[in-house]
Structure 1
Amino acid sequence: MGMVTNLYRHKIEVVADDIDLQGHVNNLVYLKWMQDAAVAHSVDKGWGQAEYDQLRCGWVVRSHQIEYRWPAFENDQLEVVTWVESFRRASCIRKYEVQRPSDQKTLAIAQTNWAFLNMDKRMPAKVPQEIIDAFLVEGLGQTAPS
């Protein structure tokens, strides 16, 4: 399993602008929710835009994988549950589940490969240990429960 990381729950209310011609949430909206959840999680852990700007570094998306299981509709109350599954030298894998608590359905599961870049050089940069530490569960170090 690798490292244990903390879960972050990002609440979403589906609005009319999210809906496509089929009457359910447009696929691209899920990507926006994933991005919003990742940013909110980072801010919650003390890593907002100002902190990354100070380092002259930041995260950019290298790839998304998403599997749509059930549609979402206008006025649905959803949660994007997200966590960082693993870090590499200059990247991380973040996972997501889009959940609808009212019927306990998981609407989508996804992951993003985020690359950590030096913004001045536009080159990969080593992820600082304090960023890695921010997303791990306090007190558990880097060992997963068996």
Structure 2
Amino acid sequence: MHRIYEYCHLVTPEEIDGLGHVNNVVYLKWLQDAAVAHSTANGWSGRRYREMKIGWVARSHYIEYLQPAFVDQEIVVQTWISTLQKVKSLRKYRIVRPTDSELLVRAETNWAFVNYENLTPRRIPEEVASCFSIVPEQEEPV
């Protein structure tokens, strides 16, 4: 089980905006990619969720941009589960540049667990919850 998952990515030219750095919406895509990769690594792929007709939908995102990223730089998205409640979860993220350990982004997403057939909230099944560790605030990466 991956408590704090690390998703690595090399910035591509297509991700650069008119100011010469990574476009803001690209960071959101990286957050989602990291969340999906973390879930998959813990045994819950998108396919498995779809087959069971249950899964996660985003309710809100908070992103704090601290430093820019540029083409051909490697970035690492660190992600973990901060809270797991009856029908919702808070996932946190840090995006760092490993070459200089610079923190580029701090972010979090509020996720709701739903029935995919009618998009109504559904209690998180134990078989899903048991595959994820909660990382207490004092153990979060800094």
Query: Aligned pair 1:61/2:66, yes or no?
Result: no
* Structure 2 letter corresponding to 1:21: G
Instruction: Kindly provide the CA deviation profile for residues 30-85 of structure 1, in whole angstroms up to 9, marking residues without a partner as x.
Output: 00000000000000000002221232111111000000000000000010000011
Q: Which runs of 5+ in 1 are unaligned?
A: none
TM-score, with structure 1 as normaliser: 0.88
Identity %: 42
Query: Aligned pair 1:9/2:6, yes or no?
Result: yes
Could you tell me which residue of structure 2 aligns to residue 37 of structure 1? Answer: 34
Query: Aligned pair 1:81/2:115, yes or no?
Result: no
* Structure 2 letter corresponding to 1:108: V
* Structure 1 letter corresponding to 2:34: A
- Between stretches 33-42 and 124-133, larger displacement belongs to 124-133
Partner Cα distance (1:114, 1:11) in 2:
22
Partner-residue secondary structure (3-state), 2:63 = strand
TM-score, with structure 2 as normaliser: 0.91
Q: Which runs of 5+ in 2 are unaligned?
A: none
- Between stretches 100-109 and 47-56, larger displacement belongs to 47-56
Partner Cα distance (1:108, 1:23) in 2:
17
Partner-residue secondary structure (3-state), 1:21 = coil
Partner Cα distance (1:19, 1:95) in 2:
24
Partner Cα distance (2:127, 2:7) in 1:
23
**How many residue pairs were aligned?**
137
Q: What's the RMSD between the two structures over aligned residues?
A: 1.8
Could you tell me which residue of structure 2 aligns to residue 111 of structure 1? Answer: 108
Instruction: Kindly provide the CA deviation profile for residues 63-112 of structure 1, in whole angstroms up to 9, marking residues without a partner as x.
Output: 00000000000000010000011111111000000000101101000000
Partner Cα distance (1:131, 1:120) in 2:
18
* Structure 2 letter corresponding to 1:111: E
Structure 1 runs, 4 residues or longer, greater than 2 Å off: none
Could you tell me which residue of structure 2 aligns to residue 120 of structure 1? Answer: 117
Could you tell me which residue of structure 2 aligns to residue 25 of structure 1? Answer: 22
Partner Cα distance (2:47, 2:106) in 1:
30
Deviation of the 1:130 alpha carbon: 2.0
